[in-house]
Structure 1
Amino acid sequence: MDNQFPIPGPSVPGEAAPLPTPEEATPPPPSYQAPVSVKPPVVKPSPIKIILPLLAGILVVGLLVYGITKFIGSRLPSESVTTGQTITLTYYGLWEPSSVMKPVIDEFETQNPGIKISYQLQSPQDYQDRIKTALEGQNSPDVIRLHSTWLPLFAKNLFPAPANSVSATEVSTNFYPIVSKMLISGTQVYGVPITMDGLALFMNNSMFQQKSLLPPKTWEDVLSAAKTLKEVDPLTGKLTRAGIALGNTGNVDHWPDIVSLMLLQAGVKLTDIKGAEASATLSYYTDFVTKHRVWDDTLPPSTVAFANEKVAMIIAPLWRAPEIKSINPSLSWQTVAVPQLPDSDIVNWTSFWFEAVGKNSKHPQEAWKFVSFLASAKAQQILFDAATSDREFPQPPANKAVASLAQNNPVVSPFVTSFETAHTFYTASNTRDAKTALNSRLIKYLEDAVNAVSQNQDVVKALVTLNNGFAQVLSQYGLVAAPAAATTP
C-alpha cells in the first residue's frame, strides 16, 4: 500500500539515552577533609559543693542577660527586630509577558513576604548563548527558563533541587512521563515545566464540509483527505490549494518535529536511525510532494498558508494558534490529534520549556522554593487563567492536576490528551538554540537526509550519513557512546 509507512516491529520506539549524571552542583572543595576528632580531656568527678555554686552563678548570669536584653529591646525601633532582610530573586523569563506572570508572582510574594521576584522577560534572539554566559558569571540569574532538550548543554550550570523542595517522586506523580525522562537524572531533579506544548492537526472546517470529509485519524486518512482537498489549475497544472503541508523542508513549519514523530511512530530509534522502517518513513514523508503533489515549494510557509486558506491541513504546535487567528480572524478551523499508524501504540510529540535554578545563584534555596511553587497545581491554575485573559489559546498547564482546565478549550484539548503518550528528542525545532548547538546540528543532518530522499538519491546512503552524523553529535554531549574509530587495512 503506497499510503502507509511501516507498522513498528518488535523494537521499542527510541528515546534519548538517559543523561549521564552531571557533576554535583555544590561539591566540597578539593582540599576538604573531615575534622579530626580530638581526644577529650580526663575530668575528675566534681564534688557537690562545687556544682551548687556553679549552678547558682549560671542562673544569676542568665537573669542578668535576660533583663538587659528586654531593656535594650524595648528601646530599639521596630525595624531593627525584623527576622531578616528581604531577598530579591532574578527570574529570566521567556515568551510570557509580565502581565501574565504578575498574578502568580504576587501570590508567591504574599505567601513569602521575605522574598521578592524580579521578572525579566528576555528576547529569544541569541537567548541560548546569552543565558549560558549569564549562568557562568558572578551575577547569575537565580531562576531561568530553558528548553527541555538543552539540559545536556546546561546541566553543569544548574543547581539541582535540594531535598526540601521538588523530589523525583513528585515529578513522576504530578507531571507527564516525558517530564521525568527529560529532567531527572538518577534522583536529581534539574527543573520543572509550568506549561506544555506539542503537535496537533489543524483543519479548515469549511473545506472539509464542502467535501463531506471526517477528521482524519490515521496517516492513510490524512493522505486520502489531502488528495481530495487539493485543487489544481486545469490549464497550468499549478497547485492552487494544497491538501496538507508535508513533504519538504523549505516551507513546512516544524518539519523536524513532524519527521521525528513519524520515525518514532514507525519504531525507529532516533539514536540509531537505520533499517527498512526508517527508509520507508522518509520516503513516505517526501512523497507528499514528489509523488502525490498535495504540497509544493511555491506556497507560503505552512502556517501563513493555512491562515490564508491556501492549504486545508497543517501539523503545528499550539503556540501557532494565536498567529493564525491574528492573520485571519474569520477563519473557521479546529484541531484534532495528530495521525497515527493503525493497529499500533499511540505515539505523540512534545516540545516544552522548564524553569531551573542557576548553580551560581546567591539564594538557591529560596530560588527552589519559588520554582517549587510554580510547579504546584495552584500556581499553574493562576498562570493558566492569566494566560487565558491575555490570549484565546494559552499553553496548557504541565501539572496534570489542572489539565482539565485546558481541556475545556476545544482547540487546546487535543494537545492535553496527547501529553500522556508524548515523546521528544533533540530534533525539536524553533528552540532558538545556537547554530552550532545540539538541536541545530542534528536538524541539519536530518534536513540533508530528507532532501536527499526527495531528490531520488540513494536512501540507504542518506540514512548512513544521517546515522553517523547523529552518533557523532550525540556522543559529544555524552548522550550515546562514541562511535568506534574507523580502522585502516
Structure 2
Amino acid sequence: MKRIIIIVLSLAIVFGFIFWRFGPSISLFNQPTTNGPITLTYWGLWEDDNLIKPLIAEYQKQNPKVTINYVKQSSVNYRTRVQTQVREGVGPDVFMIHNSWLPMFYDDLAAAPSDVFSISGYKDMFYPVAQSSFVKDNQIFAAPMEIDGLALFYNVDMLSGIGASVPKNWQEFMDAASRMTVKDSSGIKTAGAALGTTGNVDHFSDIIGLLLFQQPGVDLNNLNSPQVAEILRFYTGFVIDPRRKTWDVTLPSSTQMFASGRLGFYFAPSWRAHELRVVNSSLNFKVAPVPQLSGKQVAWASFWGQAVSKNSKNAKQAWQFVQFLTSPNTEKLAYQQASKVRLFGEPYSQTSLGPELIGDPVVGAFISQGPIYKFWYLSSNTFDNGINDETVKYFEDAVNAVLQGVDPQSVLQTIDQGVKQVMDKYTKPQVVTSGR
C-alpha cells in the first residue's frame, strides 16, 4: 500500500512539473475559447454602412458575444492593400476577393471548417462556378453573396423599331446590330452593338473571355492557335469589316452610348443597370442572356466572395459569419435593403433563391445563366494589378494591333508567351530563397 502511494505521489509530481513548465504551449491546454467576447473586422467594397448594418445587427442579435466592425474599402489598390495587411497580421478577419483571385490568395486564406461548410453542401447551395472559383484541394476558401457576369443589355425601342426579337445566337445578334446601326457621311450616329475596340468598349476583356469559352477548340493553355485568331477577327470585325461595322474607335464609351439611347446592344454586368438608371431615368432597356455560338451553352462570370484571413485569431468564428452572410435569409435581407436605394440588390448566389428573381427584366438574365457560368483571368474592373490586369493587357495590345492592320495570327505568339508568364507568376508556387 505504501509503495502504491509513493508511485502515485511521484507521478503527480512529474505531471505537475510538466503542466507547470509546458502546459501553456500544449494544444490540449491551449484551445481558443469561444465564451468571451470576440471582435471581427470585416472589409467590404461598395456597400455603405447603412446597407450592411442591418445584416450585422441581425448576426449580433443571434451571436451577442461577437462584435463586427465593418470597414468600407476603396477599390483602388484594394488587392495589394488587403493582401499586404493580411500577410503582416494586421488585416481584416473577413474580406472580399474576386472570384478569379484564389491563385493569388491561396496562401493567405483560412479554409472553411467542415462543420461550417462541407463540400457537398457548398455544391448544393451555390452555382458550379462558385466551386470552380473558390474550392481547391477539396477545401473551401471563399463563399459568394452574389452571382454576376456578362449579360446582353438591349434598347427595347431600337430593337422593336426594326421588328427584331432578342437574339439567341451570334448570327441573329449581328443581323439585328447591323440593322440598328445608323450612319451618315461623318460616321456612326446610332450604333447597333459595341464590340471591336478596347478603349471605348467597357468590359471588352470579359467579352473576349466569353468568346474564348464559346469558340470550339480553344485551349487556354495554348493561345497561339487558329481558333483564337478567329476570335480576334470576329471581335474586331465590328469595326473594320464594312459588311458588319456597328462600332468605331471615335465613339464615346459603350456605357455612355447606351445610356444616351444611341446604342442597341451593350454587354455589361448587372451593376451597370444602376448607373444607367441614374444617368437616364427614361431609358427603355431590358437584359437578356448572352448570345451563343454553338450548341454548347456558356456565359461569363465575374463576381465577389467572402474570405477569411489565415492570420485571423478567430478564424472559425469568422467563417461562421461568412456562413451567415451567404445564407438565404441574409441574402434576401441584403437584397431588400439595397432595393430601397437602387433598382435592385445583388443577384442571389444561393441557387434555391433563383426562382424569386428569374422573371425580373434585368436581374433574371443573370440568374438564368447561373448553371452555365465560367470564368478566366480576363475580368474587367477588378483593379487587381495582378492576374487579370496583366492578362487583359496582352489581349488589349493584340486587339489594338489588329485594328491597326496587323494580321491576327501574328500577334498570338506574344499573347501566348505573355499569358503563360502571367500564369506561372500567379498560379504556381513561388520559390523563396533565404537570401544568404
TM-score (norm 2): 0.88
1:23-422 → structure 2 map (5 Å cutoff): 84-233=35-184, 236-267=185-216, 268-291=218-241, 292-342=244-294, 344-422=295-373
**TM-superposition CA deviations, 1:143-165 (whole Å, max 9, x none):** 00111111111111111112321
3-state SS of 1:271 partner: coil
**TM-superposition CA deviations, 1:370-392 (whole Å, max 9, x none):** 11112222221211222222211
Tell me if structure 2 keeps the 8 A contact 1:198–1:419. no
Match of 1:442 in 2: 391
AA at the equivalent of 1:318: S
Tell me if structure 1 keeps the 8 A contact 2:259–2:276. yes
AA at the equivalent of 1:106: A
Match of 1:471 in 2: 420
Query: CA separation in 2, counterparts of 1:480 and 1:91?
Result: 28
3-state SS of 1:313 partner: strand
Return the index of the structure with the highest Cα Rg.
Answer: 1
Query: CA separation in 2, counterparts of 1:478 and 1:307?
Result: 38
3-state SS of 1:393 partner: coil
Report the Cα offset of residue 453 of structure 1: 2.2
Q: Return closer, same or farther for 1:284/1:480 CA change in 2, 3 Å cut-off.
A: farther
AA at the equivalent of 1:122: Q
Q: Return closer, same or farther for 1:43/1:314 CA change in 2, 3 Å cut-off.
A: farther
AA at the equivalent of 2:229: S
Unaligned runs of 5+ in 2: 6-33, 431-436
Query: CA separation in 2, counterparts of 1:248 and 1:425?
Result: 20
Query: CA separation in 2, counterparts of 1:155 and 1:118?
Result: 24
Report the Cα offset of residue 106 of structure 1: 1.5
Match of 2:20 in 1: none
Q: Return closer, same or farther for 1:403/1:459 CA change in 2, 3 Å cut-off.
A: same
**TM-superposition CA deviations, 1:361-416 (whole Å, max 9, x none):** 12111111111112222221211222222211322111111122222422100000
Unaligned runs of 5+ in 1: 1-41, 47-82, 482-489
Report the Cα offset of residue 237 of structure 1: 4.2
Q: Return closer, same or farther for 1:250/1:44 CA change in 2, 3 Å cut-off.
A: same
Report the Cα offset of residue 45 of structure 1: 7.5
Tell me if structure 1 keeps the 8 A contact 2:104–2:427. no
Report the Cα offset of residue 459 of structure 1: 2.0
Query: CA separation in 2, counterparts of 1:178 and 1:480?
Result: 23
Report the Cα offset of residue 480 of structure 1: 11
Match of 2:10 in 1: none
AA at the equivalent of 2:232: L
Tell me if structure 2 keeps the 8 A contact 1:286–1:454. yes
Query: CA separation in 2, counterparts of 1:90 and 1:429?
Result: 27
Match of 2:405 in 1: 456
Report the Cα offset of residue 301 of structure 1: 0.6
3-state SS of 2:391 partner: helix
Tell me if structure 2 keeps the 8 A contact 1:321–1:393. no
Report the Cα offset of residue 447 of structure 1: 1.0
Tell me if structure 2 keeps the 8 A contact 1:393–1:411. no
Report the Cα offset of residue 108 of structure 1: 1.1
Q: CA RMSD in A?
A: 2.0
Quick one: percent identity of the two aligned structures? 37
2:378 to 413, 422, 427: 427
Match of 2:18 in 1: none
Query: CA separation in 2, counterparts of 1:134 and 1:480?
Result: 21
Report the Cα offset of residue 43 of structure 1: 10
Query: CA separation in 2, counterparts of 1:126 and 1:325?
Result: 28
Q: Return closer, same or farther for 1:422/1:479 CA change in 2, 3 Å cut-off.
A: farther
Tell me if structure 2 keeps the 8 A contact 1:88–1:116. yes
